Every structure is written in C-alpha cells, then in structure tokens.
Structure 1
Amino acid sequence: MAEKLDTSPEEEAIKDEAREFMTGLVGSGAGDQTNDSAGAPTADGADIIKAWKSKYSAAPEDTTMEDFWSLYDPYLTSIWKMVYDEADSNENLKETIGFVEDLLPQPGMTQLKKDHDCWCVVHTLENLGIEGVWFFNGPDPSKLFAANEDTSWYTFTQLRPEAIDPVKAAVAKIMMPIEGKLSGKVVKDTKVFC
C-alpha cells in the first residue's frame, strides 16, 4: 500500500491493536451466531458466490439485483459494506485508486478467489473516499482479514442477513450507483474482485 502519512510508533501501535481486535472479533464470532445468519463457509456457499461472480463478470451492465437476490442465502453467505478509514488523508485521485489496486491483488487473495470465498465491487469517489460491498461464503470476512493485512485500513460493517428492503437498497446503491453517484459523490473508478 502507499506510504502512510503518520508512521509514528504510536500510530503503528493503534493500527496493530485494531488488526488484533478485528481478528479476535471475527474469530470469536461463531459463538455469537444465531439461526438467522450464515454459519461456517460451505461448498454450497461457495457455489452461490461462484454463480454470482460468473453472472456479474459475464455482463455486469445486464445484471439485475433480482438476479442477485435469487441466489442469495443468508444461511450460507453474508454481505459486508467496506469504507476506507483514511479518506481524509488521501491527496489525489490517482493515489486513492492505487490503494484499491493494491488491495485486491495481494498474494493471499488468489486462494480466496479460487475457493470462491468472496467477491466485491469497490468504488473510488470524487471526494477520494473508497466504498465497496463484499459477499462472503460464510458469516464473516475472517478469511479475507487473514489473507490480506491491508484490510485493516477499512471498516467492514455487516448488512443484516435478512434480505429486507433496506438491505436490498443498500446493496443496490453500491452495486449499481444511480447516475454514477454513491453517497452523493461521483464514482471515479470501480474495481471488481471476481
């Protein structure tokens, strides 16, 4: 990833603590699961991720949200919104796009792609913010966090397991920004990890 603005020992200690916290939080989440949410990653969950990735990558402009929801299973998969934590420190669009370009091809991501454990759509916005939506085989992003330490620069928030209207709207907003805008900001670049 690009050079950090603050590399003081205090800042690095805060980042290390956050990484450890996220790993512990996700790793301990299995005991907190209810019947309304996904369990451990499964072959059926991988099949759902594979089918959706295949449909989206074949013709993203023809993909509809109905196509997505017809495949979605909250017992096997989970949906997470991702936001870059350091957007206020970004200096230019090229550098910000580079952060996403560096995030997705990390070495640990190859196995995640091969196993159909996750996929995502990530946008870089005109205000130099980064927002995306991730779909996981299983209840959480723990495999992603373990495979890619750059994820510690982002906040991941789970969208409820149930496919209720607000969840559908939130996913659609990120997947298919209306008039090229997300959160009121123009989308300047989009990357897909399929």
Structure 2
Amino acid sequence: MADTTDTTSTANGAELVKAWKATFAAKDDDLMTKFWSTYDSEATSIWTMVYDEADSNENLNDTVEIVTNLMAQSGMSSMTDECFAVVHTLENLEIEGLWFFNGPDPEKLFSANEETSWFSWAQLGPDATDLVKEAVAKMMVPVDGKINGKVVKNTTVF
C-alpha cells in the first residue's frame, strides 16, 4: 500500500506555531504545560539540532556568531510562521537547539537556509512520551541555566 502521509505544512500547524511563539514570548510560569496543550503530532513536529563542527569552535563570540548567522539567512523570513526555535550556545562551545515545526519535518527550513547543513537533526516523538517531554523541557527551560551539566552561555530564539 502506498504511503499517503502528508509531508506538507498546514494552516492549522501555522496557527499552532504562531500561538506557541506568543505563549513563549509571554514567559508564562506554566510554559511546558502550555506547550503540550499546543503540540499536535498530526500538524506539528519537534526536532533537535546539534552543530557538527563544535570541535572547531575557538571562542564564545565566534560560536554565538554561528547561531546569529544561521538565524540571519535571508530564507529565514519565509519561516516565521513555519517554525519556532530555541538555540543554546554552551560553555564548551557546543550549539544545541530545539525546533517546533509546522508539519512533520524540517524540509522547508532546509530549503530556505543552507546553513542548516552544518547541523545534525533528530526528531523527538512524534508521541509525547515522558522521555520526549523531559527532553523538550530540558531545552526549552534549562534547569539552573544548564543543559546536561553544561552552562548555557547564550540563547537565541526564533
């Protein structure tokens, strides 16, 4: 039987991404509960990203500039309603991010921004299991300003 899964973004997914951005910007105390009430595995997806060349990073300013450059690519303007991202630069000069996409995958982002090829991407879920919820919370609201014991030195939100 042929796979009939829709791999495109939807108006519903765009509304969910937009609603989540507004919720995140409001810095609500119950942020994670609100995220999971927004998440719909049929219309949206959650992905992590890790910078592949972290071993080459030499200082914090240049590492932060990698994230700034990623977000400043001209194609990102077309992604405003397609995704939300929180990207952290860690004390050991690693870059890790969490992305919430309209649709099942980040293909639109990859097409809009070739800088994404410098990162490894992995989907969380699609089911909102306890492990997925824990992984999302860790990236969305780092405890004591740390991720996996590493201090977050900079955070960029898209």
Establish whether residue 51 from structure 1 lines up as the match of residue 16 from structure 2. Answer: no
Q: Which residue of 2 aligns with 1:107?
A: 74
Q: CA deviation at 1:48?
A: 0.4
The equivalent of 2:56 in structure 1 is 89
**Equivalent residue for 2:136?**
171
Residue 68 of structure 1 corresponds to which residue in structure 2?
Answer: 35
Listed as ranges, the matches of 1:141-180 within 5 Å are 141-180=106-145
User: 1:184, CA displacement in angstroms?
Assistant: 1.3
**Structure 2, unpaired ranges of 5+:** none
What SS does the aligned partner of 1:40 have? coil
Q: TM-score, normalized by length of structure 2?
A: 0.94
Structure 2 distance, partners of 1:55, 1:105, is 23
Aligned-partner Cα distance in 2 for 1:32–1:88: 41
- Residue pairs, 1:111-130, within 5 angstroms: 111-113=78-80, 116-130=81-95
* Aligned-pair Cα RMSD in Å: 1.4
Q: 2:44 aligns with which of 72, 77, 80?
A: 77
Other-structure match for 1:20: none
Identity of aligned residues (%): 58
Change (3 A) 1:140 1:184: same
Structure 1 residue ranges, 4+ long, deviating more than 2 angstroms after superposition: 59-63
1:15 maps to what in 2? none
How far did 1:40 drift?
2.2
State the 1:55 CA deviation: 1.1
**What TM-score, normalized to structure 1?**
0.77
Q: Which has the larger radius of gyration?
A: 1
Size of the aligned set, in residue pairs, is 156
C-alpha distance in structure 2 between counterparts of 1:54 and 1:87, whole Å: 31
Give ranges in structure 1 of 5+ residues lacking alignment.
1-30
Give the counterpart letter for 1:50 in structure 2.
K
1:63 CA drift (Å): 4.9
